[in-house]
């Protein structure tokens, strides 16, 4: 059984992540998705809760017809121990997929095989760009899977983001 781990913050899960997972689904038997910074929500850079992100990822992944596990992982204050922390939370895996330089470095130092994947339309398929568009009232829906649009609407995510971006200063 070949299991692959894909790590991300998914704020929100977008079509770049989706393209990468489409590819990973062809290479492994089961996929583990680790939802990083699970403790964060209701922040401008991290508006969605771990549970909301679990819903986004698991709903979008149904399309690939592959067994998968979506597991929230909180950050810890010690990078050198982070990989052990991740391993303690997820099923055993053979390979990890990421493009995040810090994550690559930490995994490789721990002896884990890492595969980098191509970036798809990084300027638009980007959490930062999608959150910016939500805040500015621009169109963002075409950058995320349809299921994710539905979830963000259901939780009134854009209103939340706009509210937490407000200041109580003059």
Residue from 167, 168, 165 nearest 131 by CA: 165
Nearer to ligand NAD, 104 or 164 (CB): 104
Residue from 169, 145, 107 nearest 20 by CA: 145
Q: Is 48 in the site for ligand NAD (CB under 6 A)?
A: no
CA distance 57 to 151: 10
Q: Is 44 in the site for ligand NAD (CB under 6 A)?
A: no
> Binding ligand NAD by CB under 6 A: which of 63, 112, 120, 150?
120
Query: Segment contacting ligand NAD (CB under 6 A): 23-31, 53-61, 117-125, 153-161?
Result: 117-125
CA distance 94 to 3: 6
Nearer to ligand NAD, 76 or 166 (CB): 76
Nearer to ligand NAD, 3 or 35 (CB): 35
Q: Is 144 in the site for ligand NAD (CB under 6 A)?
A: no
Q: For residues 19-49, b (16+ Cβ closer than 10 Å) or e, as one string?
A: bbbeebbeebeebbbbbbbbebbeeeebbbb
Binding residue count for ligand NAD, defined by CB under 6 A: 26
Q: Is 20 in the site for ligand NAD (CB under 6 A)?
A: yes
Distances in Å between the Cα of 68 and the Cα atoms of 18, 21, 52, 61, 97 are 14, 11, 17, 8, 14
> Binding ligand NAD by CB under 6 A: which of 2, 62, 67, 102?
102
CA distance 39 to 37: 5
> Binding ligand NAD by CB under 6 A: which of 37, 61, 93, 144?
37
Residues lying near ligand NAD in the complex (CB under 6 A): 7-10, 16-17, 20, 36-37, 75-76, 79, 82, 98-100, 102-103, 106, 119-122, 125-127
């Amino acid at each position: 059984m070949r299991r692959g781990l894909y790590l991300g913050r998914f704020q929100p899960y977008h079509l770049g992540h989706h393209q990468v997972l489409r590819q990973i689904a062809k290479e492994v038997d089961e996929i583990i998705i680790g939802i990083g910074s699970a403790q964060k929500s209701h922040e401008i850079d991290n508006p969605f809760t771990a549970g909301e992100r679990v819903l986004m990822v698991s709903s979008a992944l149904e399309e690939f017809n592959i067994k998968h596990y979506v597991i929230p992982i909180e950050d810890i204050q010690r990078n050198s121990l982070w990989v052990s922390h991740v391993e303690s939370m997820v099923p055993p895996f053979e390979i990890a997929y990421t493009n995040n330089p810090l994550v690559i470095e930490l995994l490789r130092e721990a002896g884990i095989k890492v595969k980098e994947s191509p970036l798809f339309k990084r300027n638009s398929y980007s959490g930062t760009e999608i959150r910016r568009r939500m805040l500015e009232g621009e169109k963002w829906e075409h950058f995320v899977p349809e299921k994710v649009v539905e979830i963000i609407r259901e939780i009134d995510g854009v209103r939340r983001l706009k509210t937490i971006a407000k200041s109580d200063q003059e």
